[in-house]
Amino acid sequence: MKLLFVCLGNICRSPAAENIMNHLAAQSTLSNEIECDSAGTANYHSGNPPDRRMQAAAVKRNIPMIGSARQFTKSDFTNFDLILAMDRENYQNILALDPQGKYRGKVKMMCDFASQHPDKEVPDPYFGGAEGFDYVIDLLTDACGGLLSQLESTRTRSRSVS
């Protein structure tokens, strides 16, 4: 299963989701079956590492933050099984690159998988303080955990059918 996490600049939310999911997946029954990447709908930070404040928030939870920013491209629709948008604007920007709606079913909202947080969107912490980055890490850990549980459940059901 190839997962792509998408935010605006690909230095805060989406690389955090990518690295959290890699961290959780490594401890799961799907450790060898999930590949993660992240991208931004804008090209502001291409080639840059994750924001240092996001790195600090992740390190507090023993989650390493690796990767470099890149922009979402049309080829991502075919290269990934599931594309997870951090907010409504990201979601709409992704779908705008698919005017025929051929890949619409692959694009989901990240917060749809959260069970402990009522948020509908992952807030962008870029212009705020450290507490915003901490909150985003907690929210994404919840959402990634829910996504991982759903993927494990789907795999179990498909194996019992075959």
Active site residue 52: no
Instruction: Write down the catalytic residue from 37, 51, 87, 124.
Output: 124
b/e 55-89 (16+ beta carbons within 10 angstroms → b): bebbeeeebebebebbbbeeebbeebeebbbbbee
Q: Give the C-alpha distances (Å, rounded to integers) separating 20 from 105, 121, 133, 158.
A: 23, 17, 13, 25
Active site residue 13: yes
Q: Does 7 qualify as catalytic in the annotation?
A: yes
Out of 12, 13, 87, 144, the active site residue is 13
Residue of 7, 12, 111, 144 marked catalytic: 7
Catalogue the active-site residues: 7, 13, 124
